[in-house]
């Protein structure tokens, strides 16, 4: 528990936020989802946005770690351990948000007793469970130093990671009811933004661990990961542009939805992402010299993570702004109103802060168990890491 005891202040803050989050959830269970800002008109809110966000954040870790084996990128292996711990914690946070969003969690056993195979939500629950299982198994094999098993597992881990993001995208992208979601590009966009936000979070964590002298990442590797991040940002930006131009060009229904995004209620999130989360960090990281500068990489990574959070919000909420039938019974808020609106409540904010705080505590606890000994081992014998890597490659081949 070295990580937890060494940073008492941080541990304390996370613990307080975590307890507050749990208390808020208990309050929500007692009062119903009515304690949130959600309504029939805007039936999904912050929780589902955070679910998408954390599924995405989980990507970076597993993709970087498994690419190390699948594509023989030896240097990535060094950060595989923190990467997978991060990925495991984030996917648990994502799962927690789905459960928190359920209005009838006491009846959840029906999900296992009579699952509907055509529901994207069922697919997602299966894939996320599989993904979590692979993460835990990966940690287990790495901890035991079973290199062969890690390399075999990573061949399954990589496609599963891509699948997790695609299936999460299909929860939204397959809904013909929502103009803002119904698009084939949804899955690629989810994979791309999962890659950039996940990588950015991994970089932040590695830099923090470096600064705290708890886990050492070579500067060259940080620069290399930052280069990969720049590529992912570019791909994400390109896919968003494809979607936007397809919405705009016919000047029909899509254009009305686009107007909500670029100049309507969700516009602040859209522009914050496009400028702050894509353009600025890309311009920072596209120059090789900047990637050597840890401070700049940190700023760019924070911007990317914040940008993707904004993206989850505009992606989710834009679809609720214009109903297909104004005033339909499922959007009424009172007898005279024809529509509704959404603003999260304090309870939602407490829960949204609480879940990642518990996640951070979990990361610190697992990190103390798995990272600190790994560091100690690396420093003790005089065996060079390059030689060790060569050894591993020989085994894989």
CA distances (Å), origin 96, targets 119, 164, 313 = 19, 16, 18
3-state secondary structure of 383: coil
CA distances (Å), origin 354, targets 18, 325, 332 = 4, 37, 31
**By the rule CB under 8 A, 251 interacts with another protein:** no
**By the rule CB under 8 A, 255 interacts with another protein:** no
Instruction: Restricting to residues 184-213, name those near another protein by CB under 8 A.
Output: none
Query: Can you tell me the distance from the alpha carbon of 175 to that of 350, in angstroms, rounded to the nearest whole number?
Result: 30
**By the rule CB under 8 A, 38 interacts with another protein:** yes
What's the min distance (Å) between Cβ of 175 and another protein?
A: 5
Query: Can you tell me the distance from the alpha carbon of 27 to that of 33, in angstroms, rounded to the nearest whole number?
Result: 10
Query: Can you tell me the distance from the alpha carbon of 290 to that of 299, in angstroms, rounded to the nearest whole number?
Result: 11
In the structure encoding, which two tokens stand for residue 252, read together? 């029909």
Best CA proximity match to 274, nearest among 311, 328, 323: 311
**By the rule CB under 8 A, 27 interacts with another protein:** no
Q: Do 306 and 167 touch, CB atoms closer than 8 A? A: no
What's the min distance (Å) between Cβ of 181 and another protein?
A: 8
Q: Which of 1, 16, 105, 208 binds another protein (CB under 8 A)?
A: 105
User: Between residues 119 and 129, which has the closer beta carbon with respect to another protein?
Assistant: 119
In the structure encoding, which two tokens stand for residue 39, read together? 């309504």
Q: Which of 17, 33, 189, 261 binds another protein (CB under 8 A)?
A: 33
Total number of residues binding another protein (CB under 8 A)? 57
Q: Which of 4, 6, 23, 115 binds another protein (CB under 8 A)?
A: 115
User: Between residues 177 and 376, which has the closer beta carbon with respect to another protein?
Assistant: 177
Nearby residues of 106 by Cβ (< 8 Å), 6 or more positions away: none
**By the rule CB under 8 A, 175 interacts with another protein:** yes
What's the min distance (Å) between Cβ of 172 and another protein?
A: 8
**What residue ranges bind another protein (CB under 8 A)?**
31-34, 36, 38-41, 43-44, 98, 101-108, 110-111, 113-116, 118-122, 125, 171-172, 174-178, 319, 323-339
């Amino acid at each position: 528990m070295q990580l937890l005891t060494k940073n008492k202040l941080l541990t304390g803050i996370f613990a307080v936020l975590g307890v507050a989050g749990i208390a808020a959830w208990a309050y929500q269970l007692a009062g119903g989802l009515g304690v949130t800002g959600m309504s029939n008109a805007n039936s999904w809110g912050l929780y589902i946005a955070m679910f998408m966000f954390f599924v995405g954040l989980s990507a970076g870790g597993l993709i970087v770690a498994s690419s190390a084996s699948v594509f023989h990128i030896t240097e990535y292996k060094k950060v595989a351990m923190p990467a997978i711990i991060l990925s495991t914690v984030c996917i648990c946070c994502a799962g927690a948000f789905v459960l928190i969003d359920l209005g009838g969690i006491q009846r959840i056993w029906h999900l296992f007793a009579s699952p509907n195979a055509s529901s994207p939500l069922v697919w997602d629950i299966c894939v996320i469970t599989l993904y979590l299982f692979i993460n835990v198994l990966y940690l287990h094999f790495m901890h035991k130093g079973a290199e062969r098993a890690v390399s075999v597992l990573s061949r399954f881990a990589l496609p599963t990671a891509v699948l997790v993001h695609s299936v999460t995208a299909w929860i939204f992208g397959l809904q013909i009811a929502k103009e803002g979601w119904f698009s084939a590009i949804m899955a690629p966009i989810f994979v791309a933004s999962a890659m950039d936000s996940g990588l950015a979070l991994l970089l932040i964590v590695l830099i923090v661990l470096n600064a705290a002298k708890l886990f050492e990442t070579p500067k060259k590797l940080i620069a290399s990961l930052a280069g990969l991040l720049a590529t992912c940002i570019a791909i994400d930006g390109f896919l968003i542009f494809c979607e936007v131009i397809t919405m705009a060009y016919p000047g029909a229904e899509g254009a009305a939805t686009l107007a909500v995004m670029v100049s309507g209620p969700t516009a602040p999130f859209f522009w914050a992402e496009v400028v702050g989360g894509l353009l600025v960090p890309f311009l920072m990281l596209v120059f090789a010299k900047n990637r050597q500068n840890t401070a700049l990489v940190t700023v760019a990574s924070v911007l990317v993570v914040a940008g993707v959070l904004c993206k989850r919000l505009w992606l989710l909420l834009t679809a609720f702004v214009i109903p297909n039938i104004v005033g339909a019974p499922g959007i009424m808020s009172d007898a005279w109103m024809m529509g509704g609106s959404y603003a999260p409540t304090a309870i939602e904010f407490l829960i949204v802060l609480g879940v990642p705080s518990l996640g951070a505590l979990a990361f610190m606890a697992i990190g103390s168990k798995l990272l600190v000994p790994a560091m100690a081992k690396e420093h003790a014998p005089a065996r060079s890491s390059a030689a060790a890597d060569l050894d591993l490659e020989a085994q894989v081949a």
